[in-house]
Amino acid sequence: MPTVSGQSEPFVPGPSPSDLEQIPAVFRDDVESVLIGADDIHGRLDELAAEVDHDYAGRELLLIGVLKGAVFAMADVARRLTIPASMDFMAVSSYGSATSSSGVVRILKDLDTDIEGRDVLIIEDIVDSGLTLDYLMKNLRSRRPASVEVLSLLTKPARREIELPIRYVGFEIPDVFVVGYGLDFGERYRGLRSIATLKPEVYAG
Ligand code: IMP
């Protein structure tokens, strides 16, 4: 699995100078560095979608996107799949500070679909402590689907408080707060095409 870190790891995506140029001028001063460029994200999603296609060949999937962070991952995975896949969304709010969750989760928007007997693939933007996903998986399993698996674009293993089986992982990243490709800080930066870190003064407000 690709790993993004300063150490000598198997794979370090290389953001190109154009990754910084792609950041809208109004946000460019806020960005400290581009951790994963748009091309690397799309290349990795090609690989993950091919794995999903292979693993679920002959079956029909229900993709469940976790709003709002997973919107782009959901769209980009869904349009790469060649197996039949329907889409549904949940919105959850996790109580906590601006940059970490507490595991106390509230469902803001539930599914429209009855998932009993269905093969479900949860699409997540990032798994950090794992508390939100742990709640979500328990909640969905109680509805008796045929299977529940997870695809997450990013994971921060160093922050994990609960071990969870994440079947498809885009990139492992270090313990840094990131924005872009659906991820926000105070509802900003979701639309960035790459995954980036912000300058400390931005977090300080
Ligand atoms: P967890 O419950 O700690 O795993 O947190 C999961 C949720 O926290 C994610 O779905 C994101 O919404 C948010 N989150 C965690 N880390 C980051 C980050 O680095 N940037 C933006 N949001 C994050």
pLDDT per position as a tens digit, 153-165: 999 999 899 999 9
Q: What is the pLDDT of residue 7?
A: 45
Cα–Cα dist 122/66, whole Å: 7
Average pLDDT, integer, range 114-119: 98
Q: What is the pLDDT of residue 97?
A: 63
Q: What is the pLDDT of residue 15?
A: 66
Ligand 1 mutation pick, 35, 105, 128, max ligand atoms within 8 A of CB: 128
Least confident interval from 30-34, 45-49, 168-172: 30-34
Q: Which of 85, 63, 56 is nearest to 140 (CA)?
A: 63
Least confident interval from 51-65, 169-183, 191-205: 191-205
What average pLDDT does the chain have?
90
Give the global pTM: 0.90
Question: How far is the CA of 111 from the CAs of 80, 87, 100, 146, in angstroms?
Answer: 23, 10, 25, 16
Q: Which of 30, 21, 26 is nearest to 205 (CA)?
A: 30
Q: What is the pLDDT of residue 17?
A: 72
Q: Report the largest interatomic distance among the alpha carbons of the chain, rounded to a whole angstrom.
A: 51
Average pLDDT, integer, range 60-66: 97
Average pLDDT, integer, range 69-76: 97
Place of tokens 């300080």: 204
11 pLDDT above the threshold of 60: no
2 pLDDT above the threshold of 90: no
Are the C-beta atoms of residues 35 and 173 closer than 8 Å to each other?
A: yes
Residues identified as active-site:
128
Percent of the chain with pLDDT over 70: 88
Average pLDDT, integer, range 199-205: 87
Residue nearest atom 11 of ligand 1, based on CA coordinates: 126
Q: Assess whether the C-beta atom of 123 lies below 6 angstroms from ligand 1.
A: no
Q: What is the pLDDT of residue 4?
A: 67
Q: Assess whether the C-beta atom of 132 lies below 6 angstroms from ligand 1.
A: yes
